Structure formats: C-alpha cells, structure tokens
Homo-oligomer: A and B are copies of this chain.
Amino acid sequence: MIVTLAGGVGAARMLSGLVQVVPPAELTAVVNVGDDLVLHGLHISPDLDTVTYTLAGAINTETGWGLSGETWQAREMLERYGGLSWFGLGDRDLGTHLYRTQRLAEGADLAAVTAEIATAWGLELSIVPVTCDPLRTMVTLAADDAGPQPLGLPAGTEIGFQEYFVQRHHSVPVAAVRFEGADTARPSPGVLELLAAAEAVVIAPSNPVVSIGPVLAVPGVREAVAARRPHVAAVSPIVAGAALKGPADRMLTELGHEASVVGVARLYAEVASVLVIDEADADRADEVEAEGVRCVVAPTVMRTPEAAATLARTTLAAVGAEAIS
C-alpha cells in the first residue's frame, strides 16, 4: 500500500500521477480536513472534494476547484438575498455538500461518507479524511484587515481558514496558525495501521503549514509517519522560492520559515528521509541535504498527466517502492 498525505490541488495532481503507476486499489490518500467549514448549514470539505473531483476527471480545470459543467443558480439567489456568497457553491457541487450533510446527520462518520462519494465517482483508490472529528485551521491576522470591506478586522483577530483563504483571497499577512480540535481529534479508522504497513508514504506538494500541518497535528499521525521515515518522501510545494498555487510562500515567510526548498526540508526533516525538489532549485540540493534529508532533483511541475506520472515514479523510487508502469 502507498499512502499519500494530501491537501488540495497539488496533492490531487500528485495522486493523479500515482494512480497511473501503481494499482489504484493499493493507494490511500489521507486528506486534510482543517479547511472544512459549515456554511448555510452544509458541511463542506474542500480538500476531500478537490482530490475526489480531480481523480474522477470531473474537476473544473480552469479554477482547480469545484466541478466541470457547473452552474451558479443557487449562488445568484443568495446574492439576491444579500446572503453570504463569498464561498463559491456551484449547483453541482452543492449536491455533494447536501449528501455529505445528510449522511453526517444520519450518524455516518466523515470517512464513511467520503468513501461513498468516491465510490459514486467510480474511484478505486481510498480517500480518507485524516480524522472524522472536528479539526479547524484557524488563522491569526498579522495586520489590520485590508480585505473585502466592510470586514475590517483588527490585527490579532483569529479567523477560520476559508475566511482567510477564500473570503480574503489570502491577501492579509498571517501572525499564527492553530489547529482547533487537534488535541482531541482521533485519526480516522485504519490510518495509523496503514501508515505502519505502507510500502511508501508520499507527502504531496501541498502547503506544509495549512495542508500537511493539520494532517500531522492529529495525535499519533506525526509519530506514525516519523516511525516510517526511511520510507517517507516529500515533494516540495515550493519551486524557486514560490508556491505554484496559493499562499504557501508568503505564509512560510510570515511564520518565520524560509520560503524555499531548504525551509521545506527543515519542516519535514523529522518525518521524511527524502525531499524531491524541482530542477529550478538544483543549486540548493546541498543545503537540503545539510538538513539531514536526501535530496532528489526532478521536474516537479505537473503540467500534464505524463509529468505527474513521471514525478510519481521518481518519488516512489526514491524510497525504494516499485512502480508497476
């Protein structure tokens, strides 16, 4: 079994490479749920949906989130009412949230509902929320809010991740990140056992702080990954000092880390024995290795399915796991 620790878009691309090179039934994605939110009474799991929709070939490729063929009738009505409309709820996407919310209300846990949704899309890999318990990434603003007015929150205010990421377009500096509920969250059934038995663990090129951070914050997960360190390879989400998507670079700097492959190496050195970095960062390979992590240089930008498959093969090979194609 190959286990991938996953956030959203970057992880979904990595997984779309992995499913090409290992049997999907032998793949498990352990996915961040710190981004989850309840909006309009609906339980929304953005990273789970991005991974599911991407692997189903149903993602909106223009936005990187949501479904292709989407319409926005519900949102137009919300706008008529002057309701919250900053979080993009497409009509098709709403069907997923309605189903998830109903099943959770019936007593199903998030892992069961996620599996049902993946099955409905015909997926063979396992998609597992890292925990079925509430886990919420909270962001403390470093400066007064200059985002969409009339929000106007003062520096020091703590807001939910999506209020930072979507409502404010991650355009306000961050002073701190906290994972609410992490103290008491339990790993989803089977997650620790899967990590213990995995042939390889891949840390996908997701935001180390707010995508992989919440996954590792669930009690027992960091230890379980660290225990398999020789078999754990991370792929850097930072290429030439910048995030391919999202605020990872700025956020790393704002939180006192280095927004570079070396900074990523430091963050992962305890849990991963290998860091795969992009060719653009080849000149920093020695610095990465100085952090105690073996450095593999490869093309990491997954512009095509073929590029994703090649990166998947390279990453697995780096920790001695065998690709079948």
Chain A stretch 114-173: residues in CB contact (< 8 A) with chain B? 116-117, 120
Q: Which of B77, B78, B99 contacts A81 (CB 8 A)?
A: B99
Chain A stretch 197-251: residues in CB contact (< 8 A) with chain B? none
Cβ A75 vs Cβ B95 within 8 A: yes
Q: Which of B76, B90, B103 contacts A95 (CB 8 A)?
A: B76
Flag the segment in A34-42, A187-195, A255-263, A266-274 that touches B.
Answer: A34-42
The yes or no answer to A82 lying at the interface (CB within 8 A) is yes
Cβ B81 vs Cβ A94 within 8 A: no
The smallest beta-carbon distance between A96 and chain B, in angstroms, is 6
Q: Which of B77, B84, B116 contacts A102 (CB 8 A)?
A: B84
Cβ A91 vs Cβ B120 within 8 A: no
CA distance A41 to B71 in the complex (A): 21
Cβ B120 vs Cβ A92 within 8 A: no
Question: What is the copy number of this chain in the assembly?
Answer: 2
Collect the chain B residues with CB atoms within 8 Å of residue A324's CB. none
Collect the chain B residues with CB atoms within 8 Å of residue A82's CB. 116, 120
CA distance A315 to B124 in the complex (A): 65
The yes or no answer to A101 lying at the interface (CB within 8 A) is yes
Collect the chain B residues with CB atoms within 8 Å of residue A84's CB. 102
The yes or no answer to A280 lying at the interface (CB within 8 A) is no
Q: Which of B81, B95, B105 contacts A96 (CB 8 A)?
A: B81
Interface residues on A, range: 35 or more
Collect the chain B residues with CB atoms within 8 Å of residue A89's CB. 98
Cβ B77 vs Cβ A95 within 8 A: yes
Cβ B91 vs Cβ A103 within 8 A: no
Cβ B101 vs Cβ A40 within 8 A: yes
The yes or no answer to A303 lying at the interface (CB within 8 A) is no
Cβ A74 vs Cβ B101 within 8 A: no
Cβ B117 vs Cβ A95 within 8 A: no
Q: Mark A49-84, 1 if CB is under 8 A from B, else 0.
A: 000000000000000000000110111111011111
Closest to A70 in B: B73
A76-B95, A95-B76 are known contacts. Are A102 and B71 too (CB-CB below 8 A)?
A: no
CA distance A43 to B101 in the complex (A): 13
Collect the chain B residues with CB atoms within 8 Å of residue A90's CB. 73
A80-B120, A81-B96, A99-B78 are known contacts. Are A41 and B105 too (CB-CB below 8 A)?
A: yes
CA distance A252 to B104 in the complex (A): 38
21 pairs across A/B with beta carbons < 8 Å? A39-B102, A40-B42, A40-B98, A40-B99, A40-B105, A41-B98, A41-B101, A73-B92, A73-B95, A74-B74, A74-B94, A74-B95, A76-B95, A77-B92, A77-B96, A81-B95, A81-B117, A82-B116, A82-B120, A83-B95, A91-B91
A residues in contact (CB < 8 Å) with B: 39-43, 70-71, 73-78, 80-84, 89-99, 101-103, 105, 116-117, 120
Smallest CB-CB A-B distances: 10 pairs: A77-B95, A73-B91, A41-B101, A40-B98, A41-B41, A91-B91, A83-B99, A81-B99, A74-B94, A74-B95
